[in-house]
Amino acid sequence: MPIERVLIAGAGPVGLVAAANLVRSGVPVTVFESGRDLSEESRASTFHPPTLDMLDRLGAAKPLIAQGLVTPQFQYRTKQHGILAQFDFTAISDVTGHPYRVQCEQSRLTRILYDQLQTQPGFALEFDTSVQHVTRNRDGVEIAVCRQGRVETRTGRWLIGADGARSDVRRSLGIEFEGFTWPERFLVVSTPFEFCNVIPGLVAVSYVADPQRWHFLLQIPGLCRVMFPIAPHESDELVLTPAFVQSLMSTIVPGISKYEVAHVTLYKVHQRVAKIFQLGRAFLAGDAAHINNPLGGMGMNGGIHDAMNLTTRLADVWHGRTPETESANYDRERRLVTLEYIERQSIQNKRNLESDGVEFMRTLQHIAADQERTREYLLRVSMIASLRRAAELGGDQ
Ligand SMILES: Cc1cc2nc3c(=O)[nH]c(=O)nc-3n(C[C@H](O)[C@H](O)[C@H](O)COP(=O)(O)OP(=O)(O)OC[C@H]3O[C@@H](n4cnc5c(N)ncnc54)[C@H](O)[C@@H]3O)c2cc1C
């Protein structure tokens, strides 16, 4: 007989949102996290409007907003033409309680959720414990966890694999991670430099298209994150030297060639989607289920949408409001939406930025010239359209 609780692998944003929604619904959970503490890595930093609406239901939006930057506007530029178009989420304030992005490191969200969950009786989190192997049976799941070199067995009614892109849960379930890796890597340089003092009309999120080397500027509290593509022939060793980093930064504003650099991250970029998101009572969510390039900030947001969709269903099954078979809709809705929106849009965003900007400018001007097209565009980039599509497929968002 399985222990009556939900097991979650991974205490990243997706695992902890899943835990928070279950605990709030009266479903007990145990989260296993291989790290000794929550990750402090500098990674995703954009929260989209519908994600903030969801976090609000968990009581996490207000403290996150208090620590982040509220940014209603974003813009596209080219080095040659300056601003191509600028958009404002205020135009969709009738469909979201948060008509803006919040720029804030994902580690702030995990800390907020963990602090809130710790006082809840149905919540347990075991650090330094990695999920290694999954065995499914008729009534539940059995997992092997490794803690300080000792392997122990735990059982639960369901398992959520939210253990990131290299998911051990996905590997143990034998689920393929279909897709490809881009030949270029992305370099993120964080600097306290205030670009708004030297670039006229700059807003907190600014994408700059360029066929040689695009970049984008993303303001978070106290820092600006600048992202550049790195060509396959540019070695990691070269790219990570201070001289190379400064040479890239010097292309942003003519005449400024020396920047204070807080940190630099170089990483590989993939577009991959798991072949299935559910196998019996085991589920994949977040990066364990899908990864994409970060242009448009849809990776973590999509993962949070997975977590809310899945755990709302599981809570309904737990309380006897819907049959167990209903949980299969999670796979159908979220996988399709991932393919149709997140993967497609993030690939298009990359192609737009690496273009010469001419066709891109025409498209943007066409959108910006018409209120209805602007609205449709904002619904798409804010990810509201993807959630509506999931609802059309039979969901309950
Ligand atoms: C360098 C970098 C920069 C990024 N920048 C952006 C960005 O700008 N915008 C954007 O949208 N996305 C970005 N992403 C992606 C974004 O960070 C992810 O989409 C997001 O973290 C997904 O959350 P998650 O909870 O699914 O996975 P993760 O955040 O990876 O969390 C998984 C957790 O599981 C733990 N874990 C791993 N294996 C096990 C195991 N076997 N057992 C138990 N625990 C385990 C890990 O320690 C981790 O805490 C970036 C990613 C990287 C790597």
Convert the pLDDT of each residue in 273-291 to its tens digit: 999 999 999 999 999 999 9
Read off the pLDDT of residues 229-274 as tens digits, 9 standing for 90 and up: 999 999 999 999 999 999 999 999 999 999 999 999 999 999 999 9
Q: How far is the CA of 129 from the centre of ligand 1 (A)?
A: 17
- Residue 47: CB within 6 Å of ligand 1? no
Of 47-51, 80-84, 210-214, give the range with the top mean pLDDT: 47-51
- Confidence label for 2 from pLDDT (cuts 50, 70 and 90): low
- Judge whether residue 394 has pLDDT over 90: no
Write down the mean pLDDT value for the chain.
94
- Judge whether residue 130 has pLDDT over 50: yes
Over residues 13-32, the mean pLDDT reads: 98
CA distances from 31 to 43, 239, 330 (A): 21, 37, 20
- Residue 231: CB within 6 Å of ligand 1? no
- Confidence label for 139 from pLDDT (cuts 50, 70 and 90): confident
CB 29 within 8 A of CB 113: no
Q: Report the pLDDT value the prediction gives residue 387, as an integer from 0 to 100.
A: 95
- Residue 34: CB within 6 Å of ligand 1? yes
* For the CA of 267, the nearest atom of ligand 1: 1
Nearest CA to ligand 1 atom 53: 43
Q: How far is the CA of 165 from the centre of ligand 1 (A)?
A: 7
- Confidence label for 356 from pLDDT (cuts 50, 70 and 90): confident
Q: Is the pTM of this model over 0.85?
A: yes
- Residue 292: CB within 6 Å of ligand 1? no
- Residue 32: CB within 6 Å of ligand 1? yes
* For the CA of 162, the nearest atom of ligand 1: 26
Q: How far is the CA of 286 from the centre of ligand 1 (A)?
A: 8
Q: Report the pLDDT value the prediction gives residue 215, as an integer from 0 to 100.
A: 96
Q: Report the pLDDT value the prediction gives residue 397, as an integer from 0 to 100.
A: 44
Give the rounded percent of residues in the chain with a pLDDT score beyond 90.
86
